[in-house]
Structure 1
Amino acid sequence: MLRRVLAAEAARVEPGPGALPDIQRRIRAGDRGGARRRWPGPEWSLPRLARGRWGGWSPLAAGAVTIATLSVAAVVVGLASTVVPTPIDRAEPPPGAVGADQSASPAASPDDVRPGPTPPDGAVAPSVGAGTGTPAPGPTASTAGLPVYYLGGDPARPRLYREFHRLWLHDGSARDRITAALRNLLDGPVGMDPDYRNPWPAGTDLRDVTVGDGIATVDLAGAARNGVDEVTARLAVQQLVWTATAVPGVSGLRLRLDGAPVDRLWGRVATSGVLRRAPAMEVLAPVWLISPQHGDAVGRSFQVHVAGILPEATAQLRIQQGTRTVREQVVTLSIAGPAQGEAKVGVTLPPGRYTLTAYAISLEDGSERFLDDHTVTVR
């Protein structure tokens, strides 16, 4: 009954394109209609439910909203005294992909995975410790859409973003998949999206990977020193952890440098023992444009896949061709923060080059936050 009442009241609301500035003006003027209830988190607030076009609530709706408000208050009190669990992170792999991400973030679809180059003469990627050596030819070569995490966003407060890269494997084992993903991660300073960066020092090499009892031991060379700050150092470690533990059956990581355990990486972050994933809401991007990925070529009709950890479960999507905005819309995610929600939006565009931007609007000041943009070509 509560859902029906709230849905009926929501259906009476007529939003307009200039609503946000008007609401902000009313708030500054002290209008009770613009009163807001604070969300238990930084820089965000939940707007008071909009009134209907006739300016008032029905008695039944008012009672229902009172009940809902009390229920939300009880939930918030409960959350304050408990640990918010990480969302279920055992996603099914995309068709034909081995070792798809098991993270709390959305699983890949075939359209989310960027194909990699085809090795010459059917060769497969070299094994750990083999360097670039002579690849072994044969019909056993296979590919997998493997998740690779990068740092992005505000340099002062970076977060993790994921790309799916189609990489060549030997045998598809956990060790093989972690090796391929980490080698790919360490190969360059940025991802396919140049806004996604790899903070590990240039020249860092993967010496060895072993997997046992669900724990991957990763041995790196050339990474003993790095002049990054503490926030970046912590995210760099989580970048390795989230990439390695995206492989099925792997839940933690032990870090080695030049064969030896390291208690504190770069003098900034503790790395002794088994390292686990930090909570998604602490390390993943608040808004995330999953696909199309940067540089993709798509057909005239395609889906834009957006994810986010937002209290209101409301993101924004803007599509531009050059400086001209051709589409802008609200995207309602499947669930509100602290869980990560997602949504897919169908888009049809004429051929050309476009920039897709997913972002959030701060209810504090109306500014655009957490922008994630990809440039794509529509064929």
Structure 2
Amino acid sequence: MNEEMLRRVLADEADRIEPGPGALPEIQRRTAAGDRGGAWRRWRRPAWSPPRFAGGRWGGWSPLAAGAVTVATLSVAAVVVGLASTVVPTPSDRVEPPPGAVGAQRSASATPDEVRPGPTPPDGAAAPSVGTGPGTPAAGPTATTAGLPVYYLGGDPGRPRLYREFHRLWLHDGSARDRVTAALRNLLDGPVGMDPDYRNPWPVGTDLREVTVADGVATVDLAGAADNDVDEVTARLAVQQLVWTVTAVPGISGLRLRLDGAPVDRLWGRVDTSGVLRRAPATEVLAPVWLISPQHADTVNRSFQVHIAGILPEATAQLRIQRGTRTVREQFVTLSIAGPAQGEAKVAVTLPPGRYTLTAYAISLADGTEQFLDDHTVMVR
């Protein structure tokens, strides 16, 4: 078994594991003691602490030397490799079905980057806003759509963070350039996302002039964005809003920004935009709690799943469901992993038909207050 094959096996096994947020100290104890036996179990959760990693080895043991171990050992090794990495895992941008609210019926088996024939919008639903933009194909036999991630600012105006929505948008040919163009035109199309709590800080009238892609870097040329009276925090998040949206497209890892055809070294006099721009660490720019789905204004069946993500030290989020002012369900939700990685969880819910507000949030460890609230209003049919 060569190194590349072993890496693939480790990655495959890791994808099947949902470790408890407190498993790290026990993993350290067992690997140091040479303990290779036993099935994966949920451990009692201690306070989170960062993993130790030095000299390319974890606790004196290298998983790449374990070619003949059992599947159970590979599972533990895969988790150890993931925890030991110096790169904090960031959320997948291609794991959630696209919403029906932007021009296509939701498919339970669809993935956001799946391309299918252009849909006819359901009764009462708005066609994709990008469908009326310049250079967008009219619906027809050659038009296709895809569910693309688009990022917005939200949360505390004094300390905004990024939130993500999936929008089903028209495409020409499905290329990386095509997807970047569609996502950015949609982002710049209005001041808010589907959730009115998510906002777009770019100046009204900002337009996408051109997108080119070469060597994994998208060069984005904007017009009408030379001036914007925002603070430094908002300016930095506005740049990261573009970067995270663009680099959600497969094959794109960086962005070069131009204004009116010329490079810009410092955007709005507040943030460095010279060279190739990359994603900032998730812990610095993403909201600590996301309500991924259902998305705001979605219509769902009576039985559905609530998908929550969070970067939380104790890997514990909260879910509240209200009908009007009455709370019909409230519970804690254990995420798949504790911060600084982004953990996720799905909660099965069954509700009578009606309009509901779903709120994901965290409880402050300091004073017990609710924080990082993300709420969506949905219709249960």
CA distance, structure 1, for counterparts of residue 192 and residue 184 of structure 2: 13
- CA 1:225/1:167 → structure 2, altered by over 3 Å: closer, same or farther? same
1:113 maps onto 2:99 in alignment:
yes
- CA 1:120/1:352 → structure 2, altered by over 3 Å: closer, same or farther? closer
Match of residue 378 from structure 1 = 380
> What letter is aligned with 2:326?
R
Structure 1: runs of 5 or more not aligned: 1-67, 90-103
Moved over 6 A (4+): 71-74, 118-122, 124-128
1:251 maps onto 2:253 in alignment:
yes
- CA 1:191/1:339 → structure 2, altered by over 3 Å: closer, same or farther? same
CA distance, structure 1, for counterparts of residue 360 and residue 337 of structure 2: 17
- Which has the larger Rg? 1
3-state DSSP of counterpart to 1:181 = helix
Offset of residue 86 of structure 1: 2.9
Match of residue 202 from structure 1 = 204
3-state DSSP of counterpart to 2:182 = helix
- CA 1:352/1:73 → structure 2, altered by over 3 Å: closer, same or farther? closer
Offset of residue 363 of structure 1: 1.0
Match of residue 366 from structure 1 = 368
Offset of residue 139 of structure 1: 1.6
CA distance, structure 2, for counterparts of residue 174 and residue 340 of structure 1: 26
Contact 2:130 2:186 in 1 (8 A): no
Match of residue 308 from structure 2 = 306
- CA 1:204/1:109 → structure 2, altered by over 3 Å: closer, same or farther? same
Deviations 1:136-186 (A, max 9, x none): 564211110000000000001100000000001000000000000000000
3-state DSSP of counterpart to 1:249 = coil
> What letter is aligned with 1:108?
V
Offset of residue 116 of structure 1: 2.6
Structure-to-structure mapping, 1:154-303, within 5 angstroms: 154-303=156-305
Match of residue 73 from structure 2 = none
- CA 1:185/1:326 → structure 2, altered by over 3 Å: closer, same or farther? same
- CA 1:133/1:306 → structure 2, altered by over 3 Å: closer, same or farther? closer
Contact 2:297 2:376 in 1 (8 A): yes
Match of residue 15 from structure 2 = none
Contact 1:125 1:169 in 2 (8 A): no
CA distance, structure 2, for counterparts of residue 127 and residue 296 of structure 1: 19
3-state DSSP of counterpart to 2:355 = strand
- CA 1:257/1:106 → structure 2, altered by over 3 Å: closer, same or farther? closer
CA distance, structure 1, for counterparts of residue 136 and residue 99 of structure 2: 27
Offset of residue 85 of structure 1: 1.2
Offset of residue 121 of structure 1: 9.2
Contact 1:318 1:358 in 2 (8 A): yes
Offset of residue 114 of structure 1: 3.6
CA distance, structure 2, for counterparts of residue 137 and residue 352 of structure 1: 33
1:337 maps onto 2:339 in alignment:
yes
Contact 2:321 2:328 in 1 (8 A): yes
- CA 1:175/1:127 → structure 2, altered by over 3 Å: closer, same or farther? farther
- CA 1:270/1:134 → structure 2, altered by over 3 Å: closer, same or farther? closer
CA distance, structure 1, for counterparts of residue 48 and residue 290 of structure 2: 27
Identity of aligned residues (%): 78
- CA 1:127/1:345 → structure 2, altered by over 3 Å: closer, same or farther? closer
- CA 1:186/1:204 → structure 2, altered by over 3 Å: closer, same or farther? same
CA distance, structure 2, for counterparts of residue 196 and residue 116 of structure 1: 16
- CA 1:325/1:167 → structure 2, altered by over 3 Å: closer, same or farther? same
- CA 1:262/1:367 → structure 2, altered by over 3 Å: closer, same or farther? same
- CA 1:183/1:133 → structure 2, altered by over 3 Å: closer, same or farther? closer
Contact 1:106 1:342 in 2 (8 A): no
- CA 1:366/1:261 → structure 2, altered by over 3 Å: closer, same or farther? same
- CA 1:256/1:337 → structure 2, altered by over 3 Å: closer, same or farther? same
Contact 1:151 1:235 in 2 (8 A): yes
> What letter is aligned with 2:195?
D
Offset of residue 283 of structure 1: 0.5
> What letter is aligned with 1:181?
A
Aligned residues: 291
> What letter is aligned with 2:347?
V
Deviations 1:97-139 (A, max 9, x none): xxxxxxx3464332x53453377999x99999x9637945642
Match of residue 11 from structure 2 = none
CA distance, structure 2, for counterparts of residue 106 and residue 179 of structure 1: 17
3-state DSSP of counterpart to 1:327 = strand
> What letter is aligned with 2:99?
V
1:357 maps onto 2:329 in alignment:
no
